[in-house]
Amino acid sequence: MSETRYTKEHEWIRLDGDTALVGITEHAQSQLGDVVFVDLPEIGKNVMAGDEAAVVESVKAASEIYAPASGEVVAVNDALADAPATVNEDAEGKGWFLKLKLADPAELEKLMTAQQYKDFVATLS
In tens, the pLDDT along 59-93 reads 999 999 999 999 999 999 999 999 999 999 999 99
What CA–CA distance (Å, rounded) separates 40 from 10?
17
Q: In what order do the strands lie in the sheet with 11-16?
A: 4-6, 11-16, 19-24, 98-102, 71-76, 46-47
Q: Could you tell me the pLDDT band of residue 19, with boundaries at 50, 70 and 90? A: very high
Average pLDDT, the chain: 95
Highest CATH level, class, for 4-103: mainly beta
Give the start-to-end residue ranges of the domains of the chain.
Answer: 4-103
